Structures are given as structure tokens and as C-alpha cells.
């Protein structure tokens, strides 16, 4: 019987209340004011507010799929605005939209039920490929506006996306619907001001908002978690200044993104994705090719204004320290400013972007007239570029212009760092090279974005010499000792070793693995979905100890060796668990009772709930839905993101979860990626620092860890399990792997998850160069590597096949999840043929090391 951590008290706990308030504060900090011509903030004066739009009652707290969180309470926009002191004068229209959604939803559910009846659990994939979307909004009539205060109307546009399907370049997703366009025109005509609130997980087409007279404010609410409505009310009323800044570029037109028409399904080929833009992703592309965005990377307005003044730029060793004076020069509102430091690198044998983000810092809240200094520090080494031909990172000689600003189109030269000669910072070996010719983009300074006085700023900038003697080259070693492979060095004849012996220091993990046979070792490196405590588990509901969790490690060695299993829960916007479950008098969980993480999916599958025993006991696992990862990044505040991680870590510790299957940190390469909301940014520095902060927050809790994912190039959802991502090594290292590298080196996450897709012709889970050579040998990662769920599934007919469980082990991918008996058999049978016992022991050893870590910390 599994140990149950969940409470039997149905009342709202102090932890729930506290974390609700914390997530409310974090969400408010991540909202981005895109436009404001005097419409905001609103005065909460009891007015009859004209509140329309799909996101008013149907607010989207976060994306769908594994990113969903089953929180007890979600406060929507209508509730929050009423709590803030407004009367809602548009309830008739909101009721009408509710009715439309109910009818639309019944039609969707009926179709879903029919598919489930035909295909069983396989029908769940249909829902991933065809996620539910609300219908278009009803028309706003004169009668709907009667009695409302004509000073201002608020229109909330909601969008949702999720795991398994990319977003559509169509009305109702990236584009506005006819109903939204018509309604916004109506409001702009009849109200003094119209405020548009965007309850979206990523970029949409915003042209209408700037073109339509009468739309005077646009606020990116994002997808803010369970307290989202309250956070929005705080910002709309000026209780909190909207101090968030964009973490991705929003284009004027979708076609402005590089190779936009070739993304995912748009070119009719979801089997192969070619990363032709190379390193020119996001602002690196827009700035280097002179394409004007609608809203630049790092952009955001405030209710006040700030002035920046450069104090000094100096080099200490290989660290560049930039001190900036920030003053609130507004008259009425307090607020926070984000200082962003970029660097323009010299071109040489390698082409370079116009500028790259080197560091950033956010002020505390400044009252009107208040001034403070902030210092941004970054390493000269971080400015190196990867030369594929030489397999090395190099700082090319020339001038490195340090730029200070508030977004990527508002930077000004503050200093010129001079490097007298080329300097190599890392000597590597070519790894994960492109598997086909790629004619990638190359930028020229002739095409760069520029601005008035830029040339003069460069002339006037103080020149500072970089001391090359302090920059030493690091040479990677790819030997087994460097990459974490444990050898057959354990003592087989030490007596029967158990995990208790390891925990008490009487034996090592190596001693334990040395005594296990091939089948026992194979059991350790495969998740428990085939049996054990998890029983006949299903994806998304695989833990007996923690119902609704995504899965467990095996308990097959519990009796013989005392090896307990570990529980993994989905994320990244909080813990995805069942809200409640029921146990019998002996503590055994009764399947089919309680409120599962999948809602009423069991009922739709035709499963009849069992009878509830008279002596059954209810348990509760209510969790906090924090803001989506993109919104966390929009705070530009590592301390706040660490607090979000702390919320999750506290709940993990309480509910017995070992690993959070988050944070997601793939690069937002294209806005149509269906899972971008789970990822932080288009920029690898922002992504890496955010993931590190999230990890620190989680891992301050005993025995709890993060699982950074999806490693690597998981930048599309259509055919995500069998797509081949073709990418040049320079782009792979500088853009798509860099954030992972930063997170690993800054915060040492306990785990990492490989992605489904192939990386240059080899499945990520089977890619030894990616997992062992780069992750372990070059970066020094010491944690556990697991697969995404079902990557070894052989069903379906695809151009590219599935991952091999045997090759997972050979690659250094320690754990195949959720696991099957076929995986165990394949691995055990391969020993002595495709697989060495040493390779298997290495992976099993890392699983055991994580079990030891969790058990030691939970006991202390």
C-alpha cells in the first residue's frame, strides 16, 4: 500500500489562501501594458461597467494538456471586477455567450464520446489534436449597452492552446474573429474609451487595436493562473502598475517572422522541420534584418515614466559591470522599470546579430521622483560565438558595443569594449551536427536596424580594453569519468546491500547496482506503468500514492532491496493532480471515485464508478495554478519567479511529489507553436535565468526537484512525437541549448526530460551526443535524464519511427517513462548484445541516486 500524503480536511487550507495571494501578486507583475492613451487606470467608483468578451467569465488561467492545473478556485474577470467595486452592466450579453458555449460544448463532447467509444484511450489523442475552443462571440447590440457607463468599455479576448496541436493562423486563434472585429467597432463608436484585455498565451494579430479610433488601451493579461481575475482588477484600477515587459517579439504581420510560411503544418509537412533562420530568432532576426515589429522584445508601458542615466561601465576581471541610474519622472504613480543591457558583437569570420541581450535587472517600486541605481553584470565569456568549423566558442577581435535601454528597439550605446585579438573560450568537439545541408540565414551590418545618432553614440562612447589574459579556454573531455558514467566498481561480495545501507553510509550506490542482475537493473530504468504500485496506470493519472500524478519509478525492488518509488507530477503552471480521491478502510485508493485530473473522462469512456463503501475516506489535493511560464518571464524578476517555484515546491513537499515535470524552456521560435505558453521566451538568456530561478524555488524544499524540458528542439506540437528537427550546430548551441546550459550551471536541477522529436536524425532520447557528450561531459549535469511519456510506443505509421528503450540506455537517458513490460524485456534481453552491463548500471545508478536524495531529505 502506498503512503498517502493528501489531507482528509475538505476546508480551504492556510497554504491555499496564502499561495492564492502570492500568485495574485506575481500575475499582476507579469501583465504588459501595450497601449494606453489615457484610458487606464480605471476608477472603481461603482459605475455600471461595460464588460464584454470571451474571457470575462471563461477566463483562461493556463493552457491545456499536461500544463493544466486542477485548482480548487479560479477567480474570473467578472467576479474580480465586482469585488473591486464595479457593477457589471452587461450580464445579459454574458449570459448569451454562456448559452452559446454550453451548446457548443455539448456538441464537442458528443463527438469526443463517440471517438472514445470507438477507440478507447487512444481517443484521447483526438482531443489533443482537436482541442475544444469556445464559439465566436455573439453580437453586441444597443440593448446590451443600455445603462452602462459610457466613459469606458472593457473587452476581454481569450485564446487557449495546448499540448499536442499547434496554433492556427486563423480567426479565433492568431487572428481576430468576425464577431470580435464587429464588437470592437461597436464599442469604439459608443464609448469614450475602449480597453482591450488579451487573455492569451502568446502573440496574436494586433493591427486592429492600433488602427481603430476609440481603442485607447491594450493590456496583455496573459494566462495568469487561478487568481488571474483579481490580478487583472489590481492592474486595471491602478492598485498595481503594469510593469511587465514582453519576453518575445510581437510582429506587425505573421509573415514577418522568418520562414513563417514553412512552420509546422503550414507547408504541408509535419515530419521534417528545417531551422533555416539559424541564429536569427526573435529580436535577433527583426533587428538584424531591419523588420519593424508591432511590439519589440522587452517592450512594455507603465502608468508612470522613467528616465535612465548611465553611471559607469567597467570591467572587473572578465565581468562587465554596468551601473544605471533609474528615476521615476512621473507625477502620480509608483512603478518598476526593467533595465536591459545588450551587446553588439564585431563581425569577423562569423556573422553576428545586431545585438544580443547580455543581462537585465528590475528596480524596486519607485515613487514619483524617486531614483535608484541598478547594476547589471555579465561575463565577457558569454559574448562568445560558436564556430562550427573549429568546434570552439570564440570572442572575435574588435569592438563590443554595450547598449542600455528598456527594450530591443530602445537601446543606446554606453561603452565600447575593445578586444585586441581573437580569444577562444571553449574547445569542444562537433556534436549533433546537421543531418542535411541547411542554407541558413546570414546577416550583414548593411541590413541592420539603425536609429538617429547611433553612429555618433559609437564615436562618443568611452573605450575600455578587455584584458585577454583573464579569459582562459576550457577544453571539454568526453571520457566516461567526466560524463557521470558509473563503472562496475561496486563490491558484489559485500553482503546483501539494500538502499538502507546506502543511506546509512555502509555501502555505495555502486555496491548496490553491482549486486543486481540485468532484469533488476532494467526494472529500475523503466517507469512503473507496467505494474507495481501504479497498477494499470494511464498517462496523466499514473501514481497510486498521489492520484493524478504523471507517473512513478518502479517499486519492484521495494521488498528485496528497500528501494522506494518516486512520484512525478506534471506542470509547468503548478501541480497537475486529482483534486480529490477516495480510499477504503485499509487505505487502498478506490479507482473511479473522487474528482480526477482528467475531469469526467472516465464517465465519457463508459466507466461505471464503483460503489462507495460506507467507511470510505475522502482525501484532497487542491493545488495552486500559478501564471504560465511566458507570464513569469514577463515579470523580468528572478525573485518573483523563484517565489512561484517556492509555491510549487511547498505543495510538492506536502503532497509527496518528488519531481515536477517542469519548467518547460524551449525557445519560442514561432508564435504558432501550440505549447509556447509553457515556455519562457524567444531569448536563451531569459529562458535559462527563469528556469534557474524556478528551480531554486522548488529545490529549496526537502527532496523536491525540477525536470527541465524538452531537450531539445521541441518547437512544434503537430506530429511532435515523430518530427525530425534539422538544425545547424551553431544555432543549436547558441539558441536552443543555451538556456538549458544556463539552468544546469546556475541551479543544478535534479532532472531533465528529453523531447519526443528527432534532433538531426536521431531521437532526442536516443541521442548520446546530446545527452552524454553535451549535457553531462560539457556542462557537468549530474542529475537524472528521463524520456517524455510514451516515446518508445511503436503504434502508428510515421515517416520516422519511435525511440528505442535500449538506445535510451546507451545514450545515457536513464529512465523510460511511463514504462512498459516491453521496455523492460527489450533492455534486459539486450545486455551482452547491443548493451553492456556497465551502461545499464550507469543509468540505474542515477535513478538510485535520486531515490537516495529524495529519501534522505524527506527523512531529515
Residues with a catalytic annotation lie at 788
| Cα gap 775→812, rounded to integer Å | 10
Check if the beta carbon of residue 649 is closer than 8 Å to that of residue 698.
yes
| Cα gap 417→314, rounded to integer Å | 9
Q: 3-state DSSP call for residue 300?
A: coil
Handedness of CA 821, 827, 830, 832 (dihedral sign): negative
Strand ranges for 534-679 from DSSP E: 551-552, 567-570, 580-583, 617-620, 659-661
Burial class (CB within 10 angstroms; exposed 0-12, middle 13-18, buried 19+) of 632 = buried
| Cα gap 788→737, rounded to integer Å | 18
Burial class (CB within 10 angstroms; exposed 0-12, middle 13-18, buried 19+) of 17 = exposed
**H-type alpha helices, 84-216:** 91-119, 124-129, 142-145, 178-190, 207-211
Closest CA to 348 of 397, 275, 284: 397
> Could you give the C-alpha distances from 463 to 313, 401, 410, 416, 460, in angstroms and in order?
10, 9, 22, 5, 9
Phi/psi of residue 279, each to 5°? -80, -5
Q: 447: which 3 cell numbers?
A: 541590413
Check if the beta carbon of residue 755 is closer than 8 Å to that of residue 709.
yes
Check if the beta carbon of residue 256 is closer than 8 Å to that of residue 293.
yes
| Cα gap 512→715, rounded to integer Å | 40
| Cα gap 635→626, rounded to integer Å | 13
Q: 740: which 3 cell numbers?
A: 538549458
> Could you give the C-alpha distances from 851 to 543, 554, 558, 593, in angstroms and in order?
16, 11, 12, 30
Q: 10 Å Cβ neighbour count for 727?
A: 28
Closest CA to 809 of 794, 793, 829: 829
| Cα gap 76→58, rounded to integer Å | 7
Buried b (16+ CB within 10 A) or exposed e, 110-135: eebeebbeeeeeebbebbbeebebbb
- Whether the bond between 712 and the residue before it is cis, its omega within 30 degrees of 0, is yes
What's the count of helices (H) and strands (E) in the chain, helices before strands? 24, 32
Burial class (CB within 10 angstroms; exposed 0-12, middle 13-18, buried 19+) of 268 = exposed
Amino acid at each position: 500500500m502506498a503512503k498517502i500524503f493528501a489531507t482528509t480536511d475538505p476546508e480551504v487550507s492556510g497554504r491555499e489562501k496564502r499561495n492564492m495571494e502570492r500568485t495574485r501578486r506575481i500575475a499582476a507583475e507579469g501583465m504588459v501594458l501595450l497601449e494606453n492613451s489615457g484610458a487606464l487606470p480605471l476608477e472603481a467608483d461603482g459605475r455600471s461597467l461595460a464588460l464584454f468578451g470571451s474571457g470575462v467569465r471563461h477566463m483562461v488561467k493556463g493552457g491545456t494538456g499536461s500544463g493544466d492545473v486542477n485548482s480548487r478556485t479560479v477567480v474570473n474577470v467578472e467576479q474580480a471586477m465586482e469585488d473591486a467595486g464595479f457593477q457589471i452592466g452587461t450580464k445579459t450579453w454574458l449570459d448569451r455567450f454562456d448559452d452559446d458555449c454550453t451548446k457548443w460544448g455539448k456538441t464537442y463532447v458528443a463527438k469526443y464520446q463517440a471517438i472514445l467509444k470507438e477507440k478507447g484511450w487512444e481517443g484521447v489523442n483526438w482531443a489533443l489534436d482537436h482541442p475544444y475552443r469556445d464559439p465566436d462571440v455573439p453580437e453586441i447590440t444597443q440593448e446590451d449597452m443600455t445603462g452602462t457607463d459610457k466613459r469606458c468599455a472593457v473587452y476581454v479576448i481569450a485564446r487557449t492552446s495546448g499540448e499536442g496541436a499547434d496554433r492556427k493562423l486563423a480567426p479565433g486563434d492568431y487572428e481576430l474573429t468576425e464577431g470580435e472585429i464587429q464588437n470592437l467597432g461597436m464599442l469604439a463608436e459608443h464609448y469614450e474609451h475602449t480597453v482591450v484585455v488579451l487573455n492569451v498565451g502568446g502573440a496574436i494579430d494586433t493591427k486592429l487595436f492600433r488602427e481603430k479610433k476609440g481603442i485607447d488601451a491594450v493590456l496583455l493579461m496573459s494566462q495568469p493562473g487561478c487568481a488571474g481575475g483579481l490580478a487583472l482588477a489590481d492592474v486595471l484600477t491602478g492598485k498595481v502598475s503594469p510593469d511587465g515587459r514582453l519576453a518575445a517579439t510581437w510582429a506587425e504581420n505573421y509573415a514577418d517572422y522568418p520562414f513563417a510560411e514553412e512552420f509546422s503544418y503550414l507547408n504541408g509537412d509535419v515530419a521534417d522541420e528545417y531551422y533555416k533562420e539559424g541564429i536569427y530568432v526573435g529580436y535577433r532576426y527583426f533587428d538584424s534584418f531591419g523588420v519593424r515589429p508591432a511590439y519589440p522584445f522587452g517592450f512594455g508601458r507603465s502608468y508612470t515614466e522613467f528616465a535612465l542615466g548611465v553611471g559607469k561601465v567597467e570591467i572587473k576581471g572578465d565581468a562587465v559591470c554596468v551601473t544605471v541610474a533609474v528615476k521615476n519622472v512621473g507625477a502620480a504613480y509608483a512603478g518598476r522599470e526593467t533595465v536591459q543591457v545588450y551587446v553588439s558583437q564585431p563581425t569577423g569570420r562569423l556573422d553576428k546579430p545586431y545585438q544580443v541581450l547580455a543581462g537585465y535587472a528590475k528596480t524596486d517600486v519607485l515613487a514619483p521622483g524617486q531614483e535608484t541605481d541598478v547594476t547589471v553584470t555579465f561575463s565577457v565569456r558569454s559574448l562568445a560565438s560558436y564556430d562550427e568549423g573549429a568546434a570552439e566558442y570564440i570572442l572575435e577581435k574588435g569592438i563590443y558595443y554595450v547598449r542600455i535601454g528598456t527594450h530591443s528597439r530602445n537601446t543606446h550605446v554606453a561603452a565600447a569594449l575593445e578586444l585586441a585579438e581573437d580569444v577562444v573560450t571553449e574547445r569542444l568537439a562537433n556534436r549533433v551536427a546537421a543531418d542535411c545541408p541547411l542554407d541558413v540565414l546570414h546577416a550583414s551590418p548593411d541590413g541592420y536596424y539603425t536609429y538617429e545618432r547611433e553612429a555618433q553614440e559609437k564615436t562618443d562612447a568611452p573605450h575600455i580594453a578587455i584584458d585577454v589574459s583573464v579569459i582562459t579556454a576550457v577544453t571539454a573531455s568526453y571520457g566516461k569519468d567526466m560524463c557521470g558514467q558509473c563503472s562496475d566498481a561496486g563490491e558484489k561480495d559485500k553482503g546483501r546491500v539494500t538502499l538502507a545501507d546506502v543511506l546509512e553510509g555502509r555501502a555505495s550506490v555502486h555496491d548496490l547496482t553491482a549486486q543486481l542482475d540485468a532484469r533488476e537493473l532494467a526494472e529500475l530504468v523503466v517507469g512503473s506503468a507496467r505494474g507495481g504500485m501504479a497498477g494499470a496506470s494511464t498517462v496523466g493519472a499514473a501514481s497510486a500514492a498521489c492520484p493524478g500524478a504523471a507517473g512513478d519509478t518502479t517499486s519492484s525492488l521495494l521488498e528485496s532491496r528497500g528501494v522506494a518509488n518516486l512520484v512525478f507530477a506534471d506542470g509547468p503552471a503548478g501541480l497537475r493532480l486529482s483534486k480529490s480521491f477516495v480510499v477504503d478502510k485499509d487505505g487502498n485508493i478506490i479507482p473511479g471515485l473522487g474528482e480526477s485530473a482528467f475531469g469526467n473522462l472516465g464517465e465519457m469512456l463508459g466507466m461505471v464508478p464503483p460503489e462507495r463503501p460506507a467507511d470510505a475516506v475522502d482525501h484532497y489535493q487542491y493545488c495552486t495554478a500559478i501564471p504560465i511560464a511566458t507570464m513569469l518571464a514577463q515579470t523580468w524578476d528572478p525573485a518573483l519567479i523563484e517565489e512561484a517555484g517556492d509555491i510549487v515546491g511547498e505543495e510538492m513537499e506536502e503532497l509527496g511529489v518528488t519531481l515536477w515535470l517542469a519548467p518547460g524552456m524551449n525557445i519560442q521560435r514561432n508564435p504558432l507553436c501550440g505549447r509556447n505558453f509553457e515556455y519562457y521566451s524567444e531569448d536563451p538568456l531569459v529562458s535559462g535565468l527563469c528556469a534557474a530561478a524556478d528551480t531554486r524555488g522548488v529545490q529549496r524544499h526537502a527532496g523536491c526537484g525540477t525536470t527541465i524540458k524538452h531537450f531539445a528542439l521541441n518547437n512544434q506540437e503537430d506530429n511532435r512525437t515523430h518530427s525530425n528537427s534539422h538544425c545547424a550546430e551553431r544555432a543549436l548551441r547558441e539558441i536552443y541549448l543555451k538556456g538549458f546550459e544556463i539552468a544546469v550551471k546556475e541551479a543544478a536541477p535534479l532532472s531533465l526530460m528529453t523531447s519526443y522529436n528527432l534532433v538531426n536524425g536521431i531521437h532526442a532520447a536516443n541521442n548520446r551526443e546530446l545527452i552524454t557528450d553535451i549535457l553531462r561531459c560539457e556542462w557537468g549535469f549530474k542529475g537524472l535524464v528521463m524520456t517524455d511519456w510514451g516515446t518508445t510506443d511503436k503504434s502508428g505509421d510515421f515517416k520516422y519511427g519511435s525511440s528505442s528503450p535500449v538506445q535510451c540506455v546507451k545514450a545515457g537517458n536513464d529512465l523510460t517513462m511511463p514504462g512498459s513490460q516491453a521496455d523492460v524485456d527489450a533492455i534486459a534481453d539486450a545486455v551482452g548484445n547491443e548493451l553492456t552491463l556497465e551502461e545499464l548500471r550507469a543509468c540505474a545508478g542515477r535513478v538510485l541516486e535520486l531515490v537516495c536524495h529524495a529519501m534522505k531529505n524527506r527523512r531529515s
